[in-house]
Structure 1
Amino acid sequence: MTNRFFKALMTSAVLGLGAASSATAAECIAPANPGGGWDFTCRQIGKIMYDIGAVDKPIQVTNMAGAGGGLAFGHVVAERGDDADLIIAASSATSTRLAQNAYAGMTADQVRFVGAIGADPGVIVVAADSPYQSLNDLVDAIKANPGKLAFAGGSAVGGFDHLKPLMVLQRAGVMDVRAIKYIGLDGGADAITQTVGGFTQAMTGDMSEIVGFLKSGDVRALAVLTEERVPGFESIPTAKEQGIDVVAVNWRGLYIPKDVSDATFDMWAERLQKVADSTEWKEAMAANGLAPFTKVGGDFQSYVDGVVAEVRILSKEIGVIQ
């Protein structure tokens, strides 16, 4: 996307927002149309903040779709840099696109990442009749012949599903991740179908995509890419406990404008922590297939910085960026 086209899109969105602004205490921008993950983040977190008394007025939700989240990011950086009453929904897709320079030259340090309080865990699965019984079985087979085995995933080449197994393999000592075959498909269900059918040897995706296939016995999960085993799926070991220190989840969280005060940052972090601790949020996670993943405040900023750096290196290695 050219800078000229990006700026035109951003200007159009800003003009369109003028009539929608109101005197509510705060606004949450969902960088997508209604119904998606970013919209869920704004609406659920905003509603619970109000319901539990973390804010004294309902939080307005503004949908600003475009450029895979880049339109909203650009709007915040260019127009709302010191707005203390603004929060923006973010996820792993946000940090991945920033790492790959997909937002027209903008960078992660142009905003402040407040926290994440839930995540769709990354998983590595194989068909039920696969010879690979553990993550290390699969890794060893790839080390022996890197070009023989292929992963299927629901994102394009260079997307987060592609990067998950590369992180695993790199941490496991595979030096040339460019040799790893990956087939990007239109969603996790298609990726599982390819794997169950024997066209690929493993599938990389999110927990929510494999639940039905686990229950039907079509696939076996070799690893979940979380700090700890996921409640309700305790039989699936983490990559970390198998000796491969990788956490790769599609986290759900927030960022705020860069030029707000530290006190404002701490205020939003405290509000987000209150949501994370609430019964209402635990119920929302259970209803929507999310796992616990709470990193709030400065720890989360450090986490995002680390993910961006790792994704940038991997993306260069596989030729997604120069």
Structure 2
Amino acid sequence: MKTTFKALALSAVAAFSAAGAASATECIAPANPGGGWDFTCRQIGRILQEIGVTPNLVQVTNMAGAGGGVAYSAVVADRNEDADLIVAASSATTTRLAQNAYAGATADQVRWVGAIGGDPGVIVVAKDSPYQSINDLIEAVKADPAAVSFAGGSAVGGFDHLKVLMLMNRAGFSDAKSVKYIGLDGGADAITQTVGGFTQAMTGDLSEVGGFLKSGDVRALAVLSDARVAGFDDIPTAKEQGVDLVAMNWRGLYVPKGISDDDYNKWVDALNKVAASDQWKQVMTENGLAPYTLTGADFETFVGENIAEITNISKEIGIIQ
């Protein structure tokens, strides 16, 4: 796998070199068309042009491979001083960096511009579950971890799993290996397991459980956002219930490390303008995203802290050494 990763990265770098320096604003989506990173580039790029930040539509380049690692390596190696380049990122990016999935790459090899929207994490239970609050569920795990299992749509060590571990960690429970988690092929399968009584709770994103909440098949114990989410106003946040956790599948950008502070600050300002625009608010409404604007130095601090926490938890459960 390492050989394949390096070959893909070198191929991407060669393609960049052949193309020469970028002459217009470009956004790299580190995946094939149609996914979340592609969505981020195309929507932000379109709005940047519509609100006059860039004179022309931003060029989107899809660069799939290694879960974002090929693009990350290519940017670091060959575009380090390109001030016209932005790259789509998400919570998956920081998770993979924390778990060393990018072949030794580190977060300080790029500069983190910000996040401007996200899909909030959520913890749900079946409609007839005895747990009425997130603290009920947390106390049940503390009392007997073997008696409470969580289903999620990501593999062991993925973001759905990490949400539960971070939740328990913030609640003062440090035995991550004892928390039972079953990784399934998507959120719908995870909800089915919980509705059927095979697991006691489901961990996922709000967008994937909305229909099940409206049908009454499940109840949400907590949304993992800073504030309650419009349209789901009856779901309390974990923070309201005394657990200081925000776990958003955020969408945002990073830029090359070697650009000037002035150019970096221009991108921070540009992303703030996108976040404040009517166009972006419409995109969030149409796509089930919650407001989540964190930019510049504050976002860089968040990224560092987030990676440190995920690294520690990943070590505890044996994902990394």
TM-score range, shorter chain: over 0.9
Equivalenced residue count is: 321
Deviation of 1:138 after TM superposition, in Å, equals 0.4
Distance 2:287 2:16 in 1: 29
Root mean square deviation, CA, Å = 1.3
**Structure 2 SS opposite 1:293:** strand
Deviation of 1:265 after TM superposition, in Å, equals 0.6
Is the contact between residue 24 and residue 57 of structure 1 (CA under 8 Å) also seen in structure 2?
no
Is the contact between residue 126 and residue 219 of structure 2 (CA under 8 Å) also seen in structure 1?
yes
Deviation of 1:85 after TM superposition, in Å, equals 0.5
The residue aligned with 1:257 is 256
Superposed CA deviations along residues 89-117 of structure 1, whole A, max 9, x for unmatched, are 00000000000000000000100010000
Is the contact between residue 25 and residue 58 of structure 1 (CA under 8 Å) also seen in structure 2?
no
Equivalent AA in structure 1 for residue 24 of structure 2: A
The residue aligned with 1:170 is 169
The residue aligned with 1:247 is 246
Distance 1:226 1:109 in 2: 26
How many percent identity over aligned positions? 68
Aligned pairs for 1:1-322 (under 5 A) are 1-2=1-2, 4-16=3-15, 25-322=24-321
Distance 2:232 2:203 in 1: 17
Distance 2:214 2:19 in 1: 45
Q: Using structure 1 for the length normalisation, give the TM-score.
A: 0.97
Distance 1:90 1:24 in 2: 22
Deviation of 1:236 after TM superposition, in Å, equals 0.4
**Range that drifts further, 11-20 or 135-144:** 11-20
Contiguous gaps of at least 5 residues in structure 1: none
Equivalent AA in structure 2 for residue 87 of structure 1: I
Equivalent AA in structure 1 for residue 269 of structure 2: E
Q: Using structure 2 for the length normalisation, give the TM-score.
A: 0.98
CA separation of 1:259 and 1:22: change in aligned 2, threshold 3 A: closer
Distance 2:149 2:212 in 1: 20
Deviation of 1:28 after TM superposition, in Å, equals 0.2
Deviation of 1:5 after TM superposition, in Å, equals 2.5
Is the contact between residue 116 and residue 294 of structure 1 (CA under 8 Å) also seen in structure 2?
yes
Deviation of 1:148 after TM superposition, in Å, equals 1.3
Distance 1:175 1:66 in 2: 34
Equivalent AA in structure 1 for residue 131 of structure 2: Y
Deviation of 1:175 after TM superposition, in Å, equals 2.3
Is the contact between residue 24 and residue 60 of structure 1 (CA under 8 Å) also seen in structure 2?
no
Is the contact between residue 25 and residue 56 of structure 1 (CA under 8 Å) also seen in structure 2?
no
Distance 2:146 2:162 in 1: 16
**Structure 1 SS opposite 2:313:** helix
CA separation of 1:22 and 1:57: change in aligned 2, threshold 3 A: farther
Superposed CA deviations along residues 131-168 of structure 1, whole A, max 9, x for unmatched, are 10100010111111011110000100000000001111
Is the contact between residue 114 and residue 256 of structure 1 (CA under 8 Å) also seen in structure 2?
yes
Deviation of 1:24 after TM superposition, in Å, equals 5.0
Distance 2:26 2:158 in 1: 29
Deviation of 1:19 after TM superposition, in Å, equals 7.2
Equivalent AA in structure 2 for residue 74 of structure 1: S
Deviation of 1:21 after TM superposition, in Å, equals 7.2
**Structure 2 SS opposite 1:215:** helix
**Structure 2 SS opposite 1:166:** helix
Deviation of 1:192 after TM superposition, in Å, equals 0.4
**Structure 1 SS opposite 2:202:** strand
Equivalent AA in structure 1 for residue 69 of structure 2: G
* Misfit runs of 4+, over 6 Å: 18-23
Is the contact between residue 24 and residue 59 of structure 1 (CA under 8 Å) also seen in structure 2?
no
